[in-house]
Amino acid sequence: MVDETALPQQLWDFVYAYDAAYDRAARSAGLSAAQACLLKEVVDAPRSMSELAASLLCDASNVTQLVTRLEARGLVRREPGQDRRSKRVAITAGGIEMVDRVRGAFTFPQDRLARLPLESRRELSALLDAMRD
Amino acid sequence: MVDETALPQQLWDFVYAYDAAYDRAARSAGLSAAQACLLKEVVDAPRSMSELAASLLCDASNVTQLVTRLEARGLVRREPGQDRRSKRVAITAGGIEMVDRVRGAFTFPQDRLARLPLESRRELSALLDAMRD
DNA sequence: TATTGTTATACTCTATAACTATA
DNA sequence: TATAGTTATAGAGTATAACAATA
């Protein structure tokens, strides 16, 4: 376990800025970050509601609402699943276009990263290096 | 500008997991992530409402509500600012204790990072290295 | 009984617009 | 007029609990 004290405050700042950048990209496409995340999860293959809850780290009832909103906009489709209880969420052409838009709008928060003290960037690099082994 | 296509999907996964870890830590202390972030901003020195809006990257009206909730729980205090329009948000002893609790509960999502392909970790390291110069 | 998903509900986050008080 | 902050409002994200249908 990596000690928390070894993590520079600036690493959190970087994550925060990265997150905000993603949020901006999603919003520029007319989506919330949560909606964009869900679309990304189903862009390659359909997923069941429970699979989505697991990978999005949220409750199933939340997925229900997210999917309902996305379905109302024609970006995903509920399809019958394996047994008659489960459903698969499949992306539509419109949904794929949205994913592409978000990707295109995303810009790496280089300015924030560049503002990190040398020391912090070194620490982060070292942290990653240590994990290679 | 760093090209978006150079960023591995796994980098986003890492950021996502890091963010979720912070959220868990905050919740284990009975705070939302947004509340914990605000407390962190005022832990060293009082800040005005508008300063908080700027550093939290959100609207001032949002800060008003966050501070109102935190103040109701005795974690921050509104103090008179420079002129009679502005206010400073100061942390209380209870607020400091909360920040410490969140810090103590935060655990680095090492498992996720360890799951990154070597290739991705190398790319991230390289990205950081390149920015040193 | 256990699992999959939904519904009802409540709280928080967030922004926009309109507002008050002060500068 | 401009600035700091608040209030009113609305939409979205989120979880808990209770529920229906299926296994």
Give whole-number Cα distances, A58 to A97, B17, B80, B102, B124, in Å. 25, 12, 40, 20, 27
B37, closest nucleotide (Cα–C1'): C13
Are A12 and B99 contacting, i.e. CB atoms less than 8 angstroms apart? Answer: no
The pLDDT of residue B3 is 37
C-alpha distance from A74 to closest chain B C-alpha (Å)? 25
Give whole-number Cα distances, A92 to A2, A70, B19, B128, in Å. 42, 10, 29, 37
For strand C, give the nucleotides within 7 A of a protein CB: 3-9, 12-18, 21-23
pLDDT at B8 over 80: no
Q: CA-CA distance, A81 to A83, in Å (whole number)?
A: 6
Q: How many residue pairs from chains A and B have C-beta atoms closer than 8 A?
A: 63
Residue type, A112: R
Q: CA-CA distance, B22 to A14, in Å (whole number)?
A: 13
Tell me the pTM: 0.81
Over residues A19-30, mean pLDDT: 90
Are A66 and A35 contacting, i.e. CB atoms less than 8 angstroms apart? Answer: yes
Are B79 and B90 contacting, i.e. CB atoms less than 8 angstroms apart? Answer: yes
Q: By CA distance, what is A132's nearest residue in B?
A: B118
pLDDT per position as a tens digit, B14-66: 677 778 888 989 999 999 999 999 999 999 999 999 999 999 999 999 999 99
Over residues A33-56, mean pLDDT: 97
Q: CA-CA distance, A18 to A15, in Å (whole number)?
A: 5
Percent of residues, chain A, with pLDDT higher than 70:
70
The pLDDT of residue B82 is 87
Residue whose pair of structure tokens reads 């005795």 in the numeric block: B74
The pLDDT of residue B126 is 58
Cross-chain residue pair B108–A18, CB shorter than 8 Å? no
B61 CA, C14 C1': Å apart: 9
List of chain B residues whose C-beta atoms are within 8 Å of the C-beta of residue A1: 107-108, 110
pLDDT per position as a tens digit, B73-125: 999 999 999 899 999 999 999 999 999 999 999 876 555 555 555 555 565 55
pLDDT per position as a tens digit, A84-123: 999 999 999 999 999 999 999 987 655 555 555 555 555 5
pLDDT at A133 over 50: no
- Sheet containing A47-48: order of strands: A47-48, A87-91, A76-80
Q: Among A93, A86, A9, A98, which residue's Cα sits nearest to residue A49?
A: A86
Q: Is B131 on the interface with A (CB under 8 A)?
A: yes
pLDDT per position as a tens digit, B119-133: 555 655 555 554 443
The pLDDT of residue B11 is 63
The pLDDT of residue B7 is 42
A6-10, A65-69, A78-82, range with greatest mean pLDDT = A65-69
Tokens coding A113: 């990263």
